[in-house]
Amino acid sequence: MPRLTDSHCHLDFPDFDETRDQVVADAVAAGVERMVTICTKRAGLANVETISATYPAVWHAFGIHPMRVAEEPIITVEELVNAAQNPRMVGIGETGLDYHYTEESKADQQVSLRLHIEACRKTGLPLIIHSRDADEDMAAILTEEHAKGAFNCVMHCFSSSRALAETALGLGFYLSMSGIVTFRKSQELRDIFADAPLDRILVETDSPYLAPTPHRGKRNEPAFTAHTAAMGAEIFGVEPDTFAAATEANFERLFPRVKG
């Protein structure tokens, strides 16, 4: 099986508490030899650090999810930079904007996003973006901040508009493909990916959410990255090995701290 990396999962979630050893082992057996588990709140950082220290195949990222911004004081650049001293922390986020459920906190979300971007500049680590129902503001902030000083970025679980995809790609950023591309009603999203350069594509699960076909409706897990990658190869009209090799090279370019 081609080697793959699940660039975004949540192995610290309670869904995996009883089966984490097996889930990681199943992923490696399925060819998913690396995973990045994402911390979305301050209180979860210690647990995520423990997980990435326990499993050689697992690395981690840390940030404050936009839906959590209103729940606690806005994170500081210093906090993010300090957390990044851990050599197994490979990215900053997920951060971003979510106006679907939490539009009332959008001003604070925007402040938080800009602070995460500044931490990326200071550490050299890539930004991991969550964006939902906020395309215009997201495009504007990313463009404005990139003009102030370069940073690298992945649009995690990309399922937004073609316009936002074009803005992100124009800034040199990456789009991450999740199980959503395997859903029957996702043809518009598949078309957006098909028009993107293959050297800007990553794959992920966002597990335990968004299990790809044929596991839709079940708990998602990193092993299922293989199903998304199979659809990715179909979208780009290349062999599975070619698609996998391309996404691996892209991942290593974006996340240079990850070894092996």
Annotated binding site for a divalent metal cation: 8, 10, 94, 130, 156, 206
Is there a contact between 36 and 255 (Cβ–Cβ < 8 Å)?
A: yes
3-state secondary structure of 116: helix
Could you give the residue ranges of the DSSP H alpha helices within 11-105? Answer: 20-29, 45-54, 77-83, 99-102
- Residues within the annotated binding site? 8, 10, 94, 130, 156, 206
Identity of residue 76: T
3-state secondary structure of 131: strand
Residue 244 DSSP code: H
| 208: preceding bond cis by omega (within 30 degrees) | yes
Is there a contact between 36 and 59 (Cβ–Cβ < 8 Å)?
A: yes
Tokens 């199903």, located at residue: 227
Edge-to-edge order in the sheet of strand 89-98: 4-9, 32-39, 58-62, 89-98, 127-132, 153-155, 174-177, 201-203
